[in-house]
Amino acid sequence: MEISTEGKRALIAAGRRVVFTGLIILGAWLVLMGIRWAIPDDILRMMFMSGDYPTPQEWDWSRSLWTGRSVSGLVGEHLGDTLQLVAIGAGFALVTAALILILGVAISRVTRRPAWLVRLRQVLRLTLVSNRVSAPIFIGATLIWLYPGIWWSWSPPLEYDGIAWWPAFFVSLLPAWLLVQVGHGEIANWPEKQASSYGLLARDVGVKLLVTILRLTGAIIVVTVLVEQVFNYEVLGRLFISSLSMRDYPVVFGVAWVCVLIVVFAKLAADLIEIAYNHFRERPKPPGPTVEQSPPQRSIPRVWLFVSLALVVVFILIAIIAPFIAPYGYNDGMAITGAARLQPMGGEYLMGADQLGRDVFSRLLYGIRLDVQTGATIAAIVMVIAIGWAFLAAFVKKMNNWVGDTLEDLVLLPRDILCAFPWLVLLLLLMLNVGPGFGQVALMCSLLLLPRAVGMMREAYSSPPEGHSLQYGILWSIPVMLLFVVAGGILYVSSASFLGYGIPEPFPELGSMVNQGRRYFSDALHLAIWPGIFLVLLTLVWTMAGETLLERLGFRSKAVWSKVVE
């Protein structure tokens, strides 16, 4: 039986993904070895001079430096619970996204008229989804987890019948809303609106959601690392963080390697499912030649784009003038007064004082300044290289055959290797070697956001506005990518600082302020509430502006932002 040209291309694509998976695993191993060899000598000297560690020449990389237990045994003890948490969180995310999409379709059917109601519905959707996909997960987990214990003296148990349902719920929140974005894009771009095609639409959306959740395995692992710190739940993420704090390098690298294998094989499964489905799926019949195709309608009103960009400008202005409007410095002598320690809101301190008597309002202003400055620095480093990289990938993709597909995969192979690591795991590994600080965290976040920015551009040029070329898709995606990269930089830096590996005290980074506020919840709620609110607003504004611009420009994919956390 002769195989069609499309069948041969699909078969070659499947074989290529298997081969490239092997190359990605090899490349990720070499990255880990490079980080291992780059452990600074002064850190090693400090470790074995303390008397608690053996000399580096005596290290057995298969055993913990502290306990002497085998790394494989330690990882194996936590691996089952970790996979259970990831799987249940992914299942929750799929179910939640499906229910939200069904509800959204039902609402859209009964609000087709008038036009102002349609636009209002789209604005509310975009704002809600942008908030859910950009807000750092540790903020919601911190506040929702601790409020019941303070207000009602009740804290829900971590496990029911041996299953971590409560942590899994928080793990599912971020991927659920990313899936909603992806599903909305599939529904909005469906070519047929007849009832006969609804079954095909449901099947297409279901497969797309399954493929996407597999590709988001790295993002789910990142969320588990953060949620575990809030819930004190013992799985791989907590083992990773505790080993980092003790500089137990064999365990740290062992956990990172297992995370890489989980992500790589999940993405391979996603690629094979997508290739097979695209080849065998039944497609809706195209309209006849006499039927005129009307241009796609942009539901997001233009005024909302101006509002979103105006909010971005507002935060930039706050960052610029923060030193002039802050009542105090972020850490000067006037602000640090023992008498004002943990002072509540009101009076001389508008938003209260922290554990050292420093004005929270002033530190918030400086925190916005620091996060915007860091995000802009990261974007400046990333964008130039990412644009050239994406243009090269699009250039070889133009062949539109298996040769072009293979060349594109070769060009993007370094991206796939770096994206095999859950971004927070690799960021903490790098920060462990270089140490905390503004320059260090900006450079390391740039290294991790660079391949993801290329992934965003690839998503954009693969789904350009109707009737436009790949190059057009890249050029017009640049302002969108700029907004997303700044938001991603803020998200990365705040997450690392929340865990103590980003910008150190006394600098007022918003993520570290949330972490410090958690320790004083019973005495001063405002210490965690205000930094959390402003961090959510900051990431929301930049992400919403990017999403609004993406839709106004007519890009057909809604999965662009998901590449930031992939």
Quick check: 255 and 64 in contact, CB under 8 A?
no
Question: Does the residue 153 lie in any domain?
Answer: yes
Question: Does the residue 287 lie in any domain?
Answer: no
3-class DSSP assignment, residue 54:
coil
* Nearest-angstrom CA–CA distance, 127 and 239: 36
Q: How many CB atoms lie within 10 A of CB 535?
A: 28
Segments of the chain scoring below 50 in pLDDT: 1, 195, 289-296, 333-334
Question: Does the residue 359 lie in any domain?
Answer: yes
**What is the model's pLDDT at position 12?**
85
Question: Does the residue 293 lie in any domain?
Answer: no
Element (H, E) at 306: helix 302-325
The b/e string for 460-479 (b: 16+ C-beta within 10 A; e otherwise) is bbbbbbeeeebeebbbbbee
**Residue type at position 27:** G
Q: How many CA atoms lie within 13 A of 515 on its CB side?
A: 21
Count helices and strands (H / E) in the chain: 20, 0
The b/e string for 353-373 (b: 16+ C-beta within 10 A; e otherwise) is bbebbbbbbbbbbbbbbbbbb
Question: Does the residue 111 lie in any domain?
Answer: yes
**What is the model's pLDDT at position 52?**
59
CA angle 475, 479, 485 (to 5 degrees): 115
Question: Does the residue 508 lie in any domain?
Answer: yes
DSSP 215: H
| Predicted confidence (pLDDT) per residue in 223-273, tens digit | 988 888 777 777 888 889 888 888 888 899 999 999 999 999 999 999 999
Quick check: 464 and 473 in contact, CB under 8 A?
yes
Q: How many CB atoms lie within 10 A of CB 22?
A: 11
Of residues 205, 176, 211, the one with CA closest to residue 190: 205
Q: How many CB atoms lie within 10 A of CB 499?
A: 22
Question: Does the residue 288 lie in any domain?
Answer: no
3-class DSSP assignment, residue 152:
coil
Quick check: 176 and 92 in contact, CB under 8 A?
yes
Question: Does the residue 224 lie in any domain?
Answer: yes
232: left (phi over 0), alpha (psi -120 to 50) or beta: left
Quick check: 483 and 449 in contact, CB under 8 A?
no
Total domain count, the chain: 1
Q: What is the domain extent for residue 197?
A: 5-282+300-565
Distance set, CA 396 to CA 18, 22, 399, 410, 414 (Å): 21, 22, 6, 10, 16
Give CA 10 to chain center in angstroms: 30
Of residues 258, 84, 253, the one with CA closest to residue 171: 84
* Nearest-angstrom CA–CA distance, 25 and 276: 23
